[in-house]
Chains A and B, each alone.
Chain A
Amino acid sequence: MQKFTSIVSKVVPLLMDNVDTDQIIPARFLKVTDKAGLGEALFADWRYNSDGSPKPDFVLNLQEMKGRQILLVGDNFGCGSSREHAPWALVGYGFRVVISTSFADIFRNNALKNGLLPVILDQQAHSQLVQACQDNPDLELTVDLEAQTIKLPDGRSESFPIDAFSKTCLLNGVDEIGYVLGLLPQIEAYESAHQK
C-alpha cells in the first residue's frame, strides 16, 4: 500500500452531503478486472457530458483545480455500495485526502486500504474550514498524519481522530494481509477449537 505521511495541497470543494459511491464511480465502470485507469471515470456523470466532453461548471473541470490532492466534502461521504472502485478512482485521479464530518463505514475501510486518508472533522471545524476555503479558494492545507493535524497557512490547526492501527498502517504502508497471515497459527488454533 502507498504510504501516507503528510501532504501540502490546495483543496477541491465538493460540498454535498451523502455523496454515494454510484456518483463517485458509476456501475458501468465496474466491468474491469484490474484497478488501472479508474481515475478517468471519477465522478463520471457529474464530470462529463454524454458525448464525453467535460462539463465546464463541474468543480474537477476547473483549470485551477487540477493537481489538487485534497477533497473537501459534506456529511456521510461514500454511502451506498461497497465498491472499492470508489477509492481506486479517487486515488487514481490523484486525491490523497478526503475531509468530511463522517464517512460511510465500508468506504472508510476501503479508503484506508488504499492510502487515501479519510479525515473526520466535527461540524464546527468543518464549517470553519469550508469558510476558510470560500474566503480563499487557493488556500493551502498541510495534512500531517503523524501529528493528526490539518494546518492552515495562518497557523490555525485542527486535529483529527484516527485509530492507532490504521495510522500505523498508513504511515508505514503496512500490508494488512501480510499481518494477518502472520497470525496463521492462531487462526488454525481457532479453527480446531471451534471445529471449523
Chain B
Amino acid sequence: MSDFKPKTLFEKIWDAHVVAQPPGGPTVLYIDLHLIHEVTSPQAFEGLRRRGLKVRRPDRTFATMDHGIPTHDRSLPIVDELAAKQIAALERNCAENGITLFGIRQGADKQGIVHVIGPELGLTQPGKTIVCGDSHTATHGAFGALGFGIGTSEVEMVLATQCLLQRKPKTMNVRVEGKLQKGVTAKDIILAIIAKYGVGVGTGYVFEYTGDVIRRLSMEERMTICNMSIEGGSRAGLIAPDDTTFEFLYGREFAPKGAEWDRAVEAWRKLPSDPDAPYDATIELDASTLEPMITYGTNPGMGMPITGRVPDPDKLGDTSQRAALQKALAYMNLQPNQPLLGHPIDVVFIGSCTNSRISDLREAARLLKGRRVKEGVRVIVVPGSTQVKRQAEREGLHEIFINAGAEWREAGCSMCIAMNGDELQPGQYCVSTSNRNFEGRQGKGGRTFLASPLTAAACALTGVITDVRTLLN
C-alpha cells in the first residue's frame, strides 16, 4: 500500500476510462454515454456518412430534441422550415443507426432538455463519462459523473469510435461552507461563485464542488450548480456521489436493478475524492452571508447581491474591464451605481436546463399560488421535460401558473436560446432562470437578468426587480 496515491473523484473517473495513452499525445478516453440533440449533430452524422460508417455504439447513444423545437402546441406543424429540417434529420439519423430517440413525435413522453432527461431517466450515473454537443453537459457532474460539452467534430468522433482525444485538465476544489439564509438558493450560490471569481477562472480545470452546503443540497439543486460550471469557464463540475445521489437514482428506468444495483452502489461509494487528494487549485465561498443574486451585465460573471448597486466603470483600474462594463451597461441601458431593486421588467422566463425541474417549478408555484402576475408582464413557464410537465400537472402546478396569468408550455429550451420562436423583443428586460445573459441570447436586443426561480417568481408578481425575501414572510 506504500504506493497508494490519493486521488480526486475526477482522477478516479478519468483513470478508469483511459483506453490508450500515446506518449506525448492526448489520452484516448472512453465515453460511456453520448447524448445528442438536433442542433449540434446533423453535420456529425453527415461526416459519418461520408466515411461510410455507422454509429459504433448506438446502445450508448440517446437522442432528444430541445433547442430548436417550438414549445407551443406540438400537434401543429412546425412553421420554421430550417428547424423542421433539423428535426427530420435527427429522426432519420436515429432510425438509420438504431439510436433511441425521445423526440417530439416518437418517444415524446420522455422528450425534454437533454440535461434534464439524462438524470430523470437514470442514464446519468456516478463514475460515468458523459458527453453531449452542448456546454451544459457539466450538469451531469452533480451525480459524480464526468460530463462535459463537446463540439460537432467531437460528436462525430464519439459516434464513430465511442472515444475522444482529451488532455487531462487540472482540478479545482470549489468549497462552499456555511448556512444558506431563507430565500437564497442553489442558483444564488453558483451566480455568487461566478461573480466572485469571474467567467474564466475554470479555464483548463474541472471543478469539484465540496463543503457542507453542497452535501446538504438535493440532487436538483446540485444539478443547478454543476450546470453553470461552464459559466465559470470549467467544462465539467463534479459533486461526490452520496446517499442523496443513490436515492434519486433508485428505480429510475435506466438505473441498474436488483443485485446489479447493489454492486453499482458499492462501486459508487468508492468514487469520492480520497481525504488528502490534492487539487491543483482551491476557491471558496461563504454561503452564510449570501443574498439572492442577480446579474446586471452581459456575461454571467456580472452579477451582484440583489440589494446591490450596479458597479461603476470609472472605479475599475483595468482598461479592458472598464470598457467591457461600459459596453455591457450601454447594452442593458443601466447607469453606474443605480440599484436594480425596483427596475421595471417586461418578461419573466422560468425554464432552461439550469432551473426547469420539478423542484424549481414547485418553488416558483409556492410564490405564485393564489396571486396574479403584474399586469403587462409576460411570464413563461417551460418545464424541462415532458415528464416534469406531467408531474407538475399531477400536482396542479400548471393551474397555479395559468391562474396567475403565466403561459404554461411544452418542454424545451425555449427562451434560454431563442432559436425556437420564443424570444424577447429588442430592448425588453427579462428576469430569467437560465444561465446566459449574453447580448442577444434571449432574442436580438433583449436584455437578461439572471436569477433564481424564487426571484423570478417574485419579479413576476411585482413587475420590477424584487428581493424575494420581502415576499416570503
Q: Are B438 and A30 in contact (CB under 8 A)?
A: no
Interface size of A by Cβ–Cβ distance < 8 Å? 53
Task: Tell me if A22 and B441 are in contact (CB < 8 A).
Answer: yes
Asked if A30 and B419 make an inter-chain contact with CB atoms under 8 angstroms apart, the answer reads yes
* Chain A 161-188 interface mask (CB, 8 Å, partner B; 1/0): 0011100000000001101110110110
Q: Which of A17, A28, A34 contacts B324, CB < 8 Å?
A: A17
| Identity of the chain A residue whose Cβ is nearest the Cβ of B418 in the assembled complex | A27
- Enumerate A20-62 residues with CB–CB distance to B below 8 Å: 20, 22-23, 26-28, 30-35, 45, 50
User: With A106-B135, A181-B160, A186-B19 known to touch, is A83 a contact of B40 (CB < 8 Å)?
Assistant: yes
- Contact A22 B438, CB 8 Å, known A32-B82, A80-B135: yes
Find A76's partner among B233, B327, B441 (CB 8 Å cutoff).
B233
Other-chain residue from B46, B135, B200, B419 in contact with A31 (beta carbon distance below 8 A): B419
Instruction: Say yes or no: A18 contacts B68, CB within 8 Å.
Output: no
A187 vs B321: C-alpha distance when bound (angstroms): 46
Alpha-carbon distance between A15 and B321 when the two chains are bound, in angstroms: 11
Which residues in B have their C-beta under 8 angstroms from that of A134?
none
Q: Closest CB-CB distance, B447 to chain A, in whole Å?
A: 13
A105 at the interface (CB under 8 A from B): yes
Please tell me which one of the listed residues B80, B134, B200, B444 contacts residue A18 in the complex, with CB atoms under 8 A apart.
B200
A81 contacts B by Cβ under 8 Å: yes
Contact B324 A16 (CB under 8 A): yes
The 8 Å CB contact of A28, one of B20, B157, B301, B419, is B419
- A105 near B165: Cβ-Cβ < 8 Å: no
Contact of A20 among B42, B85, B163, B438 (CB under 8 A): B438
Measured between beta carbons, the chain A residues less than 8 angstroms from B292 are none
> For the complex, what is the distance from the CA of A110 to the CA of B67, rounded to whole Å?
20
Report B428-456 CB contacts with A as 1/0, cut-off 8 Å: 00000000101111001000000000000
Contact of A79 (CB < 8 Å), options: B39, B233, B320, B321:
B233
- Which residues from chain A contact B230 at a C-beta distance below 8 Å? 80
Contact call B51/A104, Cβ cutoff below 8 A: no
- A79, B199: Cβ atoms closer than 8 Å: yes
How many B residues have CB within 8 A of the partner chain?
A: 66
Q: Which of B40, B82, B157 contacts A177 (CB 8 A)?
A: B157
Cross-chain contact A106 with B150 (CB below 8 angstroms):
yes
Q: Which of B24-32, B104-112, B340-348, B366-374 forms part of the interface with chain A?
A: B24-32
Question: Mask for A152-165, Cβ within 8 A of B = 1, else 0?
Answer: 00000000000111
**What distance in Å separates the Cβ of B262 from its nearest Cβ neighbour in chain A?**
16
In the complex, whether A74 has a CB less than 8 A from a CB of chain B is yes
Q: Which of A33, A50, A104 contacts B46 (CB 8 A)?
A: A33
B149 interface residue (CB < 8 Å to A): yes
- When the two chains form their complex, are residues B30 and A187 in contact, meaning their CB atoms are under 8 A apart? yes
Q: Are B42's CB and A33's CB within 8 A?
A: yes
Question: A residues within 8 A CB of B417?
Answer: 27
Contacts of B327 on A, CB cut-off 8 Å? 16
CA distance A84 to B32 in the complex (A): 22
The listed residue (A45, A87, A103, A186) touching B439 by CB distance below 8 A is A45
Please name 12 further chain A to chain B contacts, defined as beta carbons within 8 Å, in addition to the given A106-B149, A190-B19, sorted by A numbering: A20-B438, A22-B439, A31-B85, A76-B199, A79-B299, A81-B149, A82-B40, A82-B151, A102-B203, A114-B153, A177-B156, A187-B28
